[in-house]
Structure formats: structure tokens, C-alpha cells
Amino acid sequence: MPDPRVLILGGTSEARALSGALPGVTVITSLAGRTSSPLRPAGEVRVGGFGGVDGLTAYLRSEGIDLLIDATHPFAARISDNAAAAATATGIPLLVVRRPGWLEQPGDVWHRVPDLEEAAALLPRLGHRVFLTAGRQGIAAFAEVDAWFLARSVEPPEPPMPSRLETVLDRGPFTLDGERRLLAEHRIDVIVSKDSGGPGAKLVAARERGIPVVMVDRPRAPAAAGTVASVAEAAAWVASSWP
């Protein structure tokens, strides 16, 4: 009997860890292809989009996929919605792996907003030297904001961009000492962050310095799928799917 086939929609550290934690299973990890040198997971890898719900549905059927795992970034709402729709169309079980979001701690000065546009509208009331950690695709939302920006991303951003923008090309995880130095050297007085979860050294450094943080809430998770918060839970779910 051939090994069960699992498709992981990846691009996160959880997806990479999960790809190597499923013995006796054929794992295919799909990467969106938005970065030129992604960290490659174990097993088979495919790069690029599927072509919407219909394309993903066709792929699941043609490749004989038995289980679908959405371990994409918490803000990758479109692919998550497509995964839920394709799983429903094919009857293939779907699991969503989502790391917990960040929780406000004593001493934090957070301003929660529903999206990047609201974050951009709020910024002028909070500061003028902004550390922007919303990814390169989120920079366009701040193109008209009159402030100085330090943006950190894996790949260089593309227009539209703020007129006063300095970029740092780097990939996490980041250390607390490094974040402390970055905030001090650039005289940062406000941070914009998506509620991605995971290591949050920048939030600790902001708390220490009393810097306000504009925190963008996550989009809604697909209602049709079960959700777990860890790789161990996801691996257990896969193991329990077969006798």
C-alpha cells in the first residue's frame, strides 16, 4: 500500500518543522514563491500558486492528496480561504496550523487596528520615526504617510513606498539585544506590526523603551477547518488519520 500523501501549504517555520515530523508519509510542501531564496523544507517542494480554488482542487485530485494542511502565514487569508473551499469540494480533510497570536503584557502600549489602512491613519498621532514590520507587501499602505520609516523584510520592497524609507533586508528570528540596538540607533518612536505570533523580541524591546505599537489584527480563520497551535498537535492529527 502506498504511503499516504499530505500537502502542506507552507512558508512558515511551523510548516518546515512539520514536513520533517511525519514518518511514513509522502509530504509535498507548496511555497508561494514570493521570496527568491526560501528556506526549503524536507520532502517534495512545489513553488508557485495553484490558480485559485479550481486550480488547487484539481491539484489535490490529480496528485492523490489524502490530507491538506494549511500552515501558511496567519495573514495569508486568500490561500487559507482557497484551501477551505478546495477541501470542501474534494472531501479531503483539512487542518489549519496557526501559532498563537501575541498577548498584551503589563507595560505595553498597544493600539489594535483591523488592517494596515487603519494603522496608516493612526500613525501621525503616535510618532514620526516608524519601525515598519508588516512585510514588503504591506509597505504600500503607508506610501502617503508623512513620517520616516525603517522597514524590515526578506526581499526589497517595490513602489509605491513612503518618500522617506530606509530598508533592512533580514530574516528572523531576531534577538532581543539586536532589537534594542535597532530601536535605539534609529530613534524609533512607534512600531507597526502584524499580529503574527512567534518570537516577539521587538515587542519586549518596545515595552522596555515605552514605545507604542500599532498591532494589526489577524484576518478571520476559515470556519470550515479544525485548527491547532503547534507542530506536535498537527503531527498527532496526521498520525490519527490512519489505522
Residue 181, pLDDT above cutoff 90:
yes
Encode pLDDT of 27-41 as tens digits: 999 998 777 667 789
CATH topology of domain 110-216: Rossmann fold (3.40.50)
Of 95-104, 140-149, 234-243, the least confident: 234-243
Mean pLDDT of the chain: 93
Encode pLDDT of 47-75 as tens digits: 999 999 999 999 999 999 999 999 999 99
Encode pLDDT of 141-174 as tens digits: 999 999 999 999 888 998 999 999 999 999 888 9
Q: What gap in Å lies between CA 174 and CA 183, rounded to an integer? A: 13
Give the E-state strand segments of the chain in sequence order.
Answer: 5-9, 26-31, 44-47, 67-70, 94-97, 110-113, 129-133, 148-153, 165-169, 190-194, 213-216, 226-228
pLDDT of residue 226: 87
pLDDT of residue 36: 64
Architecture of domain 5-100+220-239: 3-Layer(aba) Sandwich (3.40)
Cell digits for 122?
493612526
> Could you give the residue range(s) of every CATH 3.40.50.720 domain in the chain?
5-100+220-239
pLDDT of residue 224: 60
Per-residue confidence at 42, pLDDT binned at 50, 70, 90? Answer: confident
Q: What residue has cell string 495569508?
A: 76
> Could you give the residue range(s) of every CATH 3.40.50.10660 domain in the chain?
110-216
